[in-house]
Structure 1
Amino acid sequence: MGWKGILGFDYGIMQAPLGPDISGPELVAAVANAGAIGLLRAPDWECPEYVREMIRKTRTLTDKPFGIGVVLAFPHEQNLKAILEEKVDVLQLYWGEASEELVRRAHDAGVKVVPQVGSIEAAKRAVDIGVDAIIVQGREAGGHVIGQEGLIALVPSIVDLIGERDIPVVAAGGIVDARGYVAALALGARGVCLGTRFLATVESYAHPVYKRKLVEYSKTEHTNVFGRARWPGAPQRVLLTPFFSDWRSLPENEDETNQPVIGRSTIHGVEKEVKRFAGTVPNKTTTGDIESMGMYAGQGVGLIKEILPAGEVVKMIVGEAQLLIQQKFQDA
């Protein structure tokens, strides 16, 4: 096992399951081949055969372990069944209560369970049902944000809660480079989960305009403008684009249901209309008014200066973190 590995992986770096289908087989395989933890993203509707196809395609691109993320707020039981039958290495869960029975089913299939939480209370419930690791998401994170606390206070609190139990804490939110990795380790985390940094990679399935804006823009905002009807009560952190700046004060009684169609996209093999404020981030297939679509990003986006291969991102962060610890801290 290499430097700071967790859950049987070489490195304590996890690539977040980027929705709706931005982290596909190509990105996940590239991350896995570099020794980190790559996570596919399951669809937000039941389509178990497509889930099997995604997993099997990823296996043609890597012989390394990888995982998949499931949002519990959406229909998922048939997808879960397929995931466990395919015996992926890691099942990441988000936005919903995982049960002890689900953890048992996963463990029976040889699958590790890693929920993402945004509070001490949610972390305690996860520990009590026997999960294998916990992703702690701070308010700094991009995309849908489950908690309200900053990472620097939340991570040590949950590390203290876990105590001597062998349940690694993985820090998520605003981390894009080696400095963030080392800072998370200092807080007691044993790994980091990166979303925005892996969005801005060659293998990411994000639209080229979206990727370009991740390099060009440095400011984000926590909002609930996008996807109010589809996913109520799920605020997001988005890039402060001109479109969002114009609409950031959207009245609370407005949502995407009565808005015009501004584009189309094929998401997990299904063609869908994209309405204004839908919150459907543009992938490579998306056409229409790309500039007027939601673009999720974490607070660390301003530190991203170029689009790189995902494997290079992993190696760069690990190498620079090792060097940082050796040069700055070992002799301090």
Structure 2
Amino acid sequence: MFYYRSIVFWIERRSNFPPSCCKFLYLISSVFHEAPDYLKQLIRKTRALTDKPFGVAVVLAFPHEENIRAILEEKVAVLQVYWGECSQDLVLQAHQAGVKIVPQVGSFEEAKKAVRVGVDAIIVQGLEAGGHVIGQDGLITLLPRVVDLVRGHKIPVIAAGGIVDERGYVAALALGAQGVALGTRFLATAESYAHPLYKRKLVELHKTEYTDVFGRARWPGAPHRVLKTPFFMDWRNLPSHENETNQPIIGRSLIHGVEKEIRRFAGTVPNATTTGDIESMVMYAGQGVGLIREILPASAVIKRLVKGAQDLIQEEFSSEKTSEEQI
């Protein structure tokens, strides 16, 4: 078993609207420690399951050089990087291996650096996103600025943060994005590796909060958006000197094949193997969680997203045409 970090959808701008040419790309999550052999196995297992292109997401805040070398040797379609410098050298390494490189940014300044080093696309993460959030700007203001920045560079822009349905998808397209990246919506699917209780909370709870309560020792200075679970609400004002290192063990999980202890306030989400006090574990979610009303197969989410976007755009075009005819 392994995780999908997110699924990216994009529209080819050459195609006519309503969009008939929607494509998607799976991004699998790398490990947070150097494990190149395991990562190669993970990539090969994924290849055995699909003939479609996919990518691997790497958090640059953790040891990653050997892992990136393994990813490039396996020549996946996309290397997606986050929370660290997407350097000119890294871009050159990826391109020499025939791999596209896509950083996820949370600020206009990060986007400018990405353009300067010659990346292949940019994921723009708004403050609405679930999990670890690197920026302070909302998607509706940051996204069009980045779209304007890349104009003339032929760099696709992908929107992330709070998007869970066709309305968010179309809104992102209207702001100039070529596509969207969804994370929280795919946690709440039948195939997701999230713990069943975590999935249920994604449907039951509608509010999130931007905080730094979880994982302070392992990933300092990394704020995150979580569900407002009863446990979180009890501890949301945790003193800044407290962290997970001196807390009791509340559960265990198999993570990338290795059993890990989970301490209170750890940044580890409960997965399908997790045992213990699930209610007291972190549950990341974006602000769009209030629009998630049921657990669906991933295929149904994709179909609704694409068909819904087509219908919305067709309705808009039809209403504009009718208005013009009346004039």
TM-score over 0.5 for the alignment?
A: yes
Partner of 2:196: 208
Partner of 1:146: 134
**How far apart, in 1, do the equivalents of 2:129 and 2:318 lie?**
30
Which of residues 13, 23, 39 is equivalent to 2:4?
23
- The answer as to 2:84 corresponding to 1:101 is no
Which of residues 61, 86, 93 is equivalent to 1:73?
61
Partner of 1:194: 182
Partner of 2:121: 133
- The answer as to 2:205 corresponding to 1:224 is no
Partner of 1:313: 301
TM-superposed CA distance for 1:313, in Å, is 1.1
**How far apart, in 1, do the equivalents of 2:80 and 2:282 lie?**
24
Partner of 2:269: 281
TM-superposed CA distance for 1:36, in Å, is 1.2
**How far apart, in 2, do the equivalents of 1:318 and 1:262 lie?**
41
TM-superposed CA distance for 1:330, in Å, is 4.7
TM-superposed CA distance for 1:303, in Å, is 0.5
**How far apart, in 2, do the equivalents of 1:227 and 1:328 lie?**
45
Deviations 1:213-272 (A, max 9, x none): 111111000000001110001001000000001000101111111110000011111111
**SS in structure 2 of the partner of residue 321 of structure 1:** helix
**How far apart, in 1, do the equivalents of 2:137 and 2:311 lie?**
30
**SS in structure 1 of the partner of residue 177 of structure 2:** coil
**SS in structure 2 of the partner of residue 149 of structure 1:** coil
1:21 to 1:243, Cα distance in 2 relative to 1, 3 A: farther
**How far apart, in 2, do the equivalents of 1:259 and 1:97 lie?**
32
**SS in structure 1 of the partner of residue 319 of structure 2:** coil
- The answer as to 2:215 corresponding to 1:234 is no
**How far apart, in 2, do the equivalents of 1:312 and 1:85 lie?**
34
- The answer as to 2:102 corresponding to 1:121 is no
Partner of 1:82: 70
Maintained 8 Å contact 1:100/1:130 = yes
**How far apart, in 1, do the equivalents of 2:192 and 2:23 lie?**
17
Partner of 1:322: 310
TM-superposed CA distance for 1:84, in Å, is 0.4
Once the two structures are superposed, the pairs formed by residues 245-264 of structure 1 within 5 Å of their partners are: 245-264=233-252
**SS in structure 1 of the partner of residue 4 of structure 2:** coil
**How far apart, in 2, do the equivalents of 1:52 and 1:295 lie?**
28
Structure whose alpha-carbon radius of gyration is higher: 2
**How far apart, in 2, do the equivalents of 1:246 and 1:21 lie?**
31
- The answer as to 2:263 corresponding to 1:302 is no
Aligned residue type for 1:155: L
**How far apart, in 1, do the equivalents of 2:159 and 2:121 lie?**
11
List, as ranges, runs of 4+ consecutive aligned residues in structure 1 with deviation greater than 4 Å: none
Aligned residue type for 1:193: A
TM-superposed CA distance for 1:279, in Å, is 1.4
**How far apart, in 1, do the equivalents of 2:148 and 2:319 lie?**
27
Q: Which runs of 5+ in 1 are unaligned?
A: 1-19, 29-33
Deviations 1:139-166 (A, max 9, x none): 0000000000000000001111112211
**SS in structure 1 of the partner of residue 168 of structure 2:** helix
State the TM-score, normalizing by the size of structure 2: 0.91
Which of residues 50, 53, 65 is equivalent to 1:62?
50
**SS in structure 1 of the partner of residue 93 of structure 2:** helix
**How far apart, in 1, do the equivalents of 2:43 and 2:58 lie?**
13
**SS in structure 2 of the partner of residue 307 of structure 1:** coil
Aligned residue type for 2:240: E
**SS in structure 2 of the partner of residue 331 of structure 1:** helix
**SS in structure 1 of the partner of residue 254 of structure 2:** strand
State the TM-score, normalizing by the size of structure 1: 0.90
Which of residues 21, 26, 32 is equivalent to 1:38?
26
Q: Which runs of 5+ in 2 are unaligned?
A: 8-21, 321-327
Maintained 8 Å contact 1:21/1:43 = no
Structure 1 vs Structure 2: percent identity of aligned residues?
A: 70
**How far apart, in 1, do the equivalents of 2:233 and 2:93 lie?**
45
Aligned residue type for 2:195: H
TM-superposed CA distance for 1:22, in Å, is 3.2
CA RMSD of aligned residues (A): 1.5
TM-superposed CA distance for 1:103, in Å, is 0.7
TM-superposed CA distance for 1:35, in Å, is 4.4
